[in-house]
Structure formats: structure tokens, C-alpha cells
Structure 1
Amino acid sequence: MAGKIYVIMTGNENSLWSRCLSESLVALEFGKTYFDPWRAEDYDSYLEVTKAGAAKDDSEADVKGRATLWFNRGNDLTRSEGDLWLHRDKNSDSLYWARTTSADPVFDHSDPDSVMLAKPVTKWSRHDKKMKPLSWKTIHPVAKDYISSMAAMFSVANADMKAYVQALIDGGDLTPWHSRPKWEERLGVQKGKALGSSVSLHELTLANLMLSITGTVANSNGQKVFKTLKNKELHCSEAEMKAHLANLYEEQKGKCAITGLTMHLHGQDDCDSDMLVSPDRIDSYGHYSIGNVQLVCRFVNFWKMAQDNNRFAELLDRVVANQLADTL
């Protein structure tokens, strides 16, 4: 998606970040006296307010430059649509990103001294589009130098850096930049330094799915405890099953095979353990084989137990039908 790329601090010393994160907003703060002329699109009056608040040793050019900068920042933020916004959260040491939507801007006057100017965005994410964490240690120092500006808000105007940031968010190949001599020098490749690495949530989830399957197989070989446990075997190699699970996730589009609910990945933001993706045998009396495995939400796997797949789905439909009947 084409559009501009901005880096923002979200308020004085990032004071608005927690609200931006929870309410899916990107925001700036304007002093009360600055808001009315800006909202009226009256630049001359805005400039006069800026002059009134300027220090005695500020030059006229500096004051006008500052007024123009902030007047335009307010316009750029509240009129933004489809633009990419970046924010570094130092608490989690992560780079977050979101895109502005077509929704109307939000103005909050609840603070006695300032007004929040905000634009709704898609949910903020600290993972690239391939679900790899955007931790600060994995970002190249050249990009860090650019993103770490102390400016309250700025547009990434450099075409090359804009392409790099987009590739970073897309989870694309960054080698064309990282292999450049100046980038290698900045990182310290000659001194043996390398970028930190991170595992994608998909890779982490696949590893956990395989641990679940192999653990179940190891502990369910027909032995008698207080009752005879069902014998569960893996009827293919672990590599084949792992590849099959990856394909299943894509085929199911991340949805639970029985309920259609979106499954959660291990390590994702706001993860609900009951919604975690879980490997389930379609025929509960069968083994873990390529044709007998589906991906479901963990709670579904717990509830289903040894129930027949179709019978369990039928019972769920009855629950839903009953709930709908109660609302009529």
C-alpha cells in the first residue's frame, strides 16, 4: 500500500502512547491556545500565538519556522489516511507500526492545558507482516539512527530509507541494504558484530505444536495408569508433520477448523491461551497422520476430547442455536 511513512513520539515525552496503543490511535498534543487557530485553519493567528509564547532571544525566523512546522504537523496527522506510522516503545524495546484509517480525527479537550489531536489507525503491531518480532536489537544501526530522532513527528523523506522501512515491516529481504559497505561499517561487521536475531511467531508456534504432538505420542503408548490410555502414534516423520502443520495453517487461513475463530499464535500481543492454535486428531481414535490432523483453538481441543468431529460440531451448533433463541 503506497503512502507516506512517519515516525512519531505521541505526545510530550510519549505521554499519549499508552492510550494510542490501547485505542488504536496516533496522536500529538497541542497547547490549548494553539488549538483554536489551528482548527480554524488560521495560520496568521497561529503564528501570533507562537510569537506570544516565544523566548525573547528567539529570532523571527525561528519562531515562524516553529509555527509552520507544528501547524503542518497537525494537518498531516489529522488528514492522514493509509500512511505508515512508526513508534519506538522503549519499555518493551520494540518498534511498533500501524496505518491510519479513513475514520475522522479525534480531538480530546479533557486535559486543562492541552488538546490531543489523534487519528484512528489499524491495531499497532510490534511484529513484521511475517510475524517476526521487531525488537530494537534486530534493527540495523543505520535505521536506528534515522528512526531515533528526538523530533515529535517527522516524515521519512529519503526514498532509500523509505524503501528499507517498508521492507522491514513487510518482513522482506534486507540484504541489499545490510550488505552495503557503509552499513557493514556502521554495524561493525569487521569487528565481528552482527545484528540480533528473532524467531517468527509462526516458527515458534510450529515448534510448540510439534512439542505437543511428540509429547502426546511419548506419553500415550497404550500403557495402563488407572485406565488404559489410547495409543497415539506419529505416522510420518517429524519434518513431514511440521511441514504439514505449516501448510494446514495457511489452508485454514489461521482459523479454527471447527469454530472458524481466529487462532492465536504463541508470543503474539494480547494472546489468549484458550485461543492458541492446537493440533487435533480428526478421528480421535486414530493416530497423528497427514490426513488425520486439523488445527483448532486450544479450548476446542480440550472440550472435544475423544468426541467424534462431526458430533462435536453438531453439539456446538446446538449451543449457538440455543443462545440465539434466547435473544429473540
Structure 2
Amino acid sequence: MAGEIFIAMTGDGNELWPDCLHRNIVALGYDKPYFHAWNAGDRDEFLRLEMRAAQKGATESDVRGRATTWFNRATRIAESEDDVWLHRAGNDLYWATTTDANPIFEEYDGKVMIAKPVTSWSRRNRRTVALTWNSIHPKAKDYLTTQQAVLRVADPMMKEYIGTLIDGDDLTRWHEFPDWKSRLGADKGKSLGSNVQLSELVLSRMMMTIRDTVRNSNGQQVLRTLKDKRLLCPEPEMKARLAHLMIEQKALCAITGLPVHVDGQDNLDYDMLASVDRIDSNGHYEPENVQLVCRFVNFWKCSQENGKFMELLEKVVAARISPNS
């Protein structure tokens, strides 16, 4: 991961989290005077505001530290780009990456929200396994549990661990460390739970579709002669190929570039479900002749040659962009 990793608590009692999740932003709220001081780059005024609001008995050093921390948090969010942000909501651990879009400043309830657009918040890793608090190692929980509004993951080992967790790669290296095993209670027989990988569901469905297609398309005549479609490799090999394509295509439709949906995901659109398409519609199901597309694309393409279908799609797009040309 190119940027930093941050843990975010989105406002008092996470008051901004529903908005963050809905709008794909990471945000904090500031009282208006503090926002105006920060926006003007006036650290002295920000400190004066903090001094006036300080509780009785607070030392000047503590107040200065708090003022610096909150001033810098606003800057971190507003200037964040290509950083990973984590947020825990109940038993779900969400993550997203900040984009290069401009920061957003909006008033609400007498405050100002400082926000930065992010990629879509996800509660699954890149391999579609749910990221649940119950399945995360206690050692990582200790680090991720924070009451701070924004915490940068500074520990290199923990940063690498979280990156690996999000990628969905093997975490055994960390889990085998003696202090990690001790924290888990492995000596007492305790172990981590695991979550279902959505890609397993979609792979099983796609393999079932291939089997049904092959069984029902062997050149027989119904009202018309159906094309002969065969699976020219062992099923495990084809399943492995489809799993590889999910990663290689970054879960994007090979023809349109749209994100494919997988069975069981949030906000599932069945027209967007991942579907196995034969690149050469006259060919059979074999590893080098398949690609993953959105289901609606597969329906539309039907038996059309791949290049011709893409050419027709480009004409449709061009006509929609320039309807009078």
C-alpha cells in the first residue's frame, strides 16, 4: 500500500459515520470557530480557543498538545490521498482509500464537517472475505482499539499486518509469533474464527452454470440447433482459472470495466453478477477462452464475436455522448 493507514472515529459517538458510509467520505466535525481558525491556518487562534475551553486544572502543556493534535487531524483528513482508513462499526471492520478529489467542508448542527472522498467503504477484504471484529487476532484488536478520533498506524509490523489483512493474504507469519500466540491463548486451545469467502460462492455458481450449459448444449435440435459447448479441462482447473481471473481482472467486467457483483454481497444487483463468458463464442469452455463479465453483458453478447460486440457497445456509448452527431 502506497500511503498511510489510519483508524478513524467519525465524530462524537461516530455521529458522522452513517453519512460517511452513504457518501463514501471520511470525516470529522469541528465547532465553527475551530474550523475557521484551522481553515485560515491560524494555529495561535486555534490554541486560544482551546485554552478558553480547557477544563480547570489542565496544564498549558496538555492544552497545547490537544490543540496541535486536533489542528493536525483536520489537515490529515483534508490532505489525505491514497491512504487507507479503517472504521469499526459493531462487529464489522470497514476500510476505504482516500482519493485525489478535493476536500469537502459542510455545516451541520452548528459545526463544520471536514471530509475527504474515499473509494467505496468495504467490510470485506480484497478476496471478498468478511472483516469481522470477532475474527481478528486479539493482538491486532489491542492496537486497533482506540478512543482517538484519528490514529495513524505507525508501527511498521502492524501496518504490514493490516495491509495483508485487507488484501486477504496469509497471516500465518504474525499468528506464529510467540507473543501473538500467547495473546490468543493458543496454549489453552483457543483459535481464530473464519468467515465465508464470497468468491467461493460465486465460483461454485459459475461452475454450476458451466455444467448446466455444457449438459444442455451438445448440438441437439430443439426449435433450433444449439451450439455444441464443451468443457475441455478438468473442473478444478477451470475453477482455479476463474479464481485467478477474479484477481487478475480486479473484479471488473472484462468488456465494460464495470465492477462485477458477487453472490451475497451488500447491495447486490443480479444484472451485475459475475458471469463466465467464452471470448470466442464459437469455441468451448477452456482456460484461455473464458473471461469474467457482468451477467447482463453475457446476455446481451449472446453468441456475438467478442471484438464485434465491443465495437457495437462503443457505438452505443458514442451515440449517447453525442446524440446529435
Interval of TM-score (by shorter of Structure 1 and Structure 2): 0.7 to 0.9
Percent identity among equivalent residues? 54
Paired position in structure 2 for 1:296 = 293
Q: CA deviation at 1:116?
A: 0.8
Deviations 1:147-168 (A, max 9, x none): 1212222222333322322332
Per the alignment, in what secondary structure is the counterpart of residue 69 of structure 1? helix
1:242 aligns with 2:243: no
- Amino acid of the residue matched to residue 326 of structure 1? P
2:106 to 97, 105, 108: 108
- Amino acid of the residue matched to residue 100 of structure 1? T
**Aligned equivalents of 1:50, 1:198: Cα separation in 2:** 45
Paired position in structure 2 for 1:75 = 75
**Aligned equivalents of 1:38, 1:315: Cα separation in 2:** 52
- Amino acid of the residue matched to residue 172 of structure 2? T
1:7 aligns with 2:7: yes
How many residues matched? 325
**Aligned equivalents of 2:288, 2:138: Cα separation in 1:** 47
Paired position in structure 1 for 2:189 = 192
**Aligned equivalents of 2:4, 2:257: Cα separation in 1:** 35
Q: CA deviation at 1:28?
A: 0.9
Q: CA deviation at 1:210?
A: 0.7
Paired position in structure 2 for 1:209 = 206
- Amino acid of the residue matched to residue 136 of structure 1? W
**Aligned equivalents of 2:65, 2:271: Cα separation in 1:** 54
Q: Is the alpha carbon distance of 1:323 and 1:299 closer, same or farther for their aligned partners in structure 2, counting shifts above 3 Å?
A: same
**Aligned equivalents of 2:119, 2:14: Cα separation in 1:** 19
Q: CA deviation at 1:299?
A: 0.8
Q: CA deviation at 1:287?
A: 4.6
Per the alignment, in what secondary structure is the counterpart of residue 150 of structure 1? coil
Per the alignment, in what secondary structure is the counterpart of residue 108 of structure 1? strand
Q: Is the alpha carbon distance of 1:258 and 1:175 closer, same or farther for their aligned partners in structure 2, counting shifts above 3 Å?
A: closer
Q: Is the alpha carbon distance of 1:164 and 1:321 closer, same or farther for their aligned partners in structure 2, counting shifts above 3 Å?
A: closer
Deviations 1:63-92 (A, max 9, x none): 4443333223223332333333211122xx
Paired position in structure 2 for 1:139 = 136
**Aligned equivalents of 1:2, 1:312: Cα separation in 2:** 37
- Amino acid of the residue matched to residue 69 of structure 1? T
Q: Is the alpha carbon distance of 1:54 and 1:260 closer, same or farther for their aligned partners in structure 2, counting shifts above 3 Å?
A: closer
Q: CA deviation at 1:177?
A: 1.5
Per the alignment, in what secondary structure is the counterpart of residue 145 of structure 1? helix
Q: Is the alpha carbon distance of 1:311 and 1:6 closer, same or farther for their aligned partners in structure 2, counting shifts above 3 Å?
A: closer
Q: TM-score, normalised by structure 2?
A: 0.82
Deviations 1:73-129 (A, max 9, x none): 223332333333211122xx32222333444332212x2421111223333333334
1:279 aligns with 2:276: yes
Paired position in structure 1 for 2:150 = 153
In structure 1, runs of 5+ residues without a counterpart are: none
Paired position in structure 2 for 1:99 = 97
Per the alignment, in what secondary structure is the counterpart of residue 323 of structure 2? helix
1:176 aligns with 2:173: yes
Paired position in structure 1 for 2:35 = 35
- Amino acid of the residue matched to residue 104 of structure 1? N
Per the alignment, in what secondary structure is the counterpart of residue 326 of structure 1? coil
Paired position in structure 1 for 2:56 = 56
- Amino acid of the residue matched to residue 105 of structure 1? P
In structure 2, runs of 5+ residues without a counterpart are: none
CA RMSD of aligned residues (A): 3.3
Structure 1, 40-49 or 179-188: larger mean CA deviation: 40-49
**Aligned equivalents of 1:101, 1:218: Cα separation in 2:** 47
